[in-house]
Amino acid sequence: MSQQDPKRIEKKYREVLDGSDVTVARLIRDLEDEKAEAVEVLKRLHPHTGRAHVVGITGNPGAGKSTVVDALIAQYRKQEKTVGVVAIDPTSPFSGGAILGDRIRMQKHAVDPGVFIRSMATRGHLGGLCRAAVDAVAVLDAMGRDVILVETVGVGQGEVDVITSAHTIVVVVVPGLGDEIQAIKSGILEIADILAINKADRSGVERTEADLNLMLDLSGKDDRPRISIVKTVATKSKGIDELADAIKEHSSLLRKTNEGFRRTLRRAEVRLVELLKERMLKRASAELKEFGGLEAFAKRIAEKETDPYSAVEGIIERLTGQPDKGKI
Amino acid sequence: MSQQDPKRIEKKYREVLDGSDVTVARLIRDLEDEKAEAVEVLKRLHPHTGRAHVVGITGNPGAGKSTVVDALIAQYRKQEKTVGVVAIDPTSPFSGGAILGDRIRMQKHAVDPGVFIRSMATRGHLGGLCRAAVDAVAVLDAMGRDVILVETVGVGQGEVDVITSAHTIVVVVVPGLGDEIQAIKSGILEIADILAINKADRSGVERTEADLNLMLDLSGKDDRPRISIVKTVATKSKGIDELADAIKEHSSLLRKTNEGFRRTLRRAEVRLVELLKERMLKRASAELKEFGGLEAFAKRIAEKETDPYSAVEGIIERLTGQPDKGKI
């Protein structure tokens, strides 16, 4: 365990509240690695969270999410709002690094102190991406950003958890090619508060809009407000003001109903569960060091000396001092 | 904990080894719910696993994965091989159910006892999809299927874990539209053993193939065999025999090198870690029942009575009887 210095913790805490980009960047990186001191800083920051409006932006690869995020940043800056961005970059399980091509475009905002962008890459299967992403949102919230954009590709479980913990969820689709059908199939339509039909200068946009409207009619639920549809051409910043308006409108709606607190609660639950899984796994891993760690157990399973269930039952019994009875 | 009957466990175990579809279907469903008796059956089945060739099939939504799977099933049946399919269906976090439109096409195989198809839906964030999917693969393996196809959309963490635990990984891409670029961006290219360019009757297929070849040249790694590229039109079963050949070739390659065992080890590790996370979370959840469960803790976090880290440290201390020091 690394040395903790109360004075340093206090200093970092102050610097985050004062909006220091450098401290925030380091803190988020240290939280990715779950460094003990960073955790102490985050604990102290917790009471300062809850002010930012968190907007999740998702959609299939190629829909133009990053361009939409980029255009939204410019829009919010025009309105003199400060912006934080947490972009979850898919990555190779081999190289372990994020592919940040898209982010280069965003670098025009890099010199603007009102914009803070952080890319996070998928990590090993000991996980923690989801937890690290929601932690980063909390830090940007505490540093006083007005709007936090969370961008993620795909419909994986962890990413769905991150996105559904946002206040407002924007799903980006493109016209034609059955993309609207794919959106439904991948279940992202149902989590949307706002649908942005991007690349709306392409042919087929009316058809896509009509299809989406029909689907919304069919799936209409009385207990949820109607999903708004906005057409954008993000590369030309077209329709971005309408998108920002739709986000603002949804934000007001949240304040008027109980849904706002429900989403805050959901984010708290995601953070709690993800952190709990990560910590317990670390604890188990440490406990098993003398036996060669989790890897040694995996080898015993692969070689059929034991099976996964018996191995896990043994590990949990060791960890808690009580037999693990499986389904409790 | 449900009642366990050793005779019933023995009976189910025998029935799986005898290839009973009905017993296998029930067992997989019970494993999704982690029923104690099903777990005991799976433990006994473990020594009978490791014979099937597990093929992971992934790619962006709309690439035609399900059609490729469908055509591959027909191809393997022609070769008189038995087939198991585990299809991970993305789903809405609201409705909780899978959208199985694609599966309807596969139903022509439903009357063929040589084909067993199981669709699994994303579950709540207490998770378990990845664990349930690898368990299902183990059951189909034990029942004696020659080939097991695991199909999944997207690039989420859990799905990457499932896919990379396969022996042979097929990534399905489509020509044009920058899909090849998207494949790289989403990191799936690097996990591929075989690239299937589907819908290869579309214009732009030569360009896509050239681009992919260039990328493979650039990213060439000495320690991994060259990724094969196969062109398919799955709807017309074109190129599917070549795809099956490429899979077979990769399978022989695995047998000749240490890579085969490395992949088996990887699957064991994924199963171990996923199960460990799930069990420990259940244990924590049960332990906290008297305080209102995890939900009550989430509420306290949302209301800022505590922060996620302090809450988790308290929970783990309670669970293990030792203080949780975070980073160990």
Asked if B119 reaches chain A (Cβ–Cβ under 8 Å), the answer is: no
Same domain, B94 and B237: yes
Half-sphere exposure of A114 (CA within 13 A, CB side): 12
Asked if A291 reaches chain B (Cβ–Cβ under 8 Å), the answer is: no
* pLDDT digit string, tens, across residues B191-250: 789 999 999 998 888 888 888 887 777 766 556 677 899 999 999 999 999 999 999 999
- A299 found inside a domain: no
- A165 found inside a domain: yes
* pLDDT digit string, tens, across residues B63-84: 888 899 999 999 999 999 999 9
Look at residue A210 and tell me whether its pLDDT is greater than 70: yes
Range of the domain at A24: 1-48
Mean pLDDT of chain B: 82
Nearest-Cα residue of chain B relative to residue A320 = B320
Contacts of A75 (CB under 8 A, 6+ apart): A237, A240, A241, A243, A244
Least confident span in A20-29, A292-301, B120-129, B165-174 = B120-129
- B224 found inside a domain: yes
- A265 found inside a domain: no
Q: Three-state SS for A278?
A: helix
Confidence tier at A122 by pLDDT (50, 70, 90): low
Look at residue A167 and tell me whether its pLDDT is greater than 80: yes
Q: How many domains does chain A have?
A: 2
- Predicted pLDDT at A100: 44
Confidence tier at A226 by pLDDT (50, 70, 90): confident
ipTM given for this complex: 0.81
Token reading at B19: 């290839």
Confidence tier at A212 by pLDDT (50, 70, 90): confident
Same domain, A1 and A86: no
CATH code of residue B131:
3.40.50.300
Same domain, A105 and A154: yes
Asked if B229 reaches chain A (Cβ–Cβ under 8 Å), the answer is: no
* H-state helical runs in chain A: 6-17, 21-32, 36-45, 65-78, 101-106, 129-142, 157-164, 179-185, 205-218, 240-256, 259-287, 293-302, 308-320
Confidence tier at B96 by pLDDT (50, 70, 90): very low
Q: Interhelix angle for B129-142 vs B36-45, to 10°?
A: 50
Confidence tier at A157 by pLDDT (50, 70, 90): low
- To probe the interface with A, which of B277, B281, B288, B294 has the most A CB atoms within 10 Å? B277
Distance from CA of B64 to the nearest CA of A (A): 11
Look at residue B98 and tell me whether its pLDDT is greater than 60: no
Confidence tier at A3 by pLDDT (50, 70, 90): low
* pLDDT digit string, tens, across residues B252-274: 999 888 888 888 888 888 889 88
Contacts of A215 (CB under 8 A, 6+ apart): A180, A184, A189
- Predicted pLDDT at B142: 97
Same domain, B86 and B21: no
Q: Three-state SS for B270?
A: helix
Look at residue A317 and tell me whether its pLDDT is greater than 70: yes
- Predicted pLDDT at A66: 85
Nearest-Cα residue of chain B relative to residue A183 = B61
Same domain, A16 and A108: no
Same domain, A107 and A27: no
- To probe the interface with B, which of A155, A193, A218, A300 has the most B CB atoms within 10 Å? A155
- B265 found inside a domain: no
Look at residue A44 and tell me whether its pLDDT is greater than 50: yes
Same domain, A68 and A196: yes
Distance from CA of A38 to the nearest CA of B (A): 11
Nearest-Cα residue of chain A relative to residue B3 = A327
Nearest-Cα residue of chain A relative to residue B64 = A182
Confidence tier at B40 by pLDDT (50, 70, 90): very high
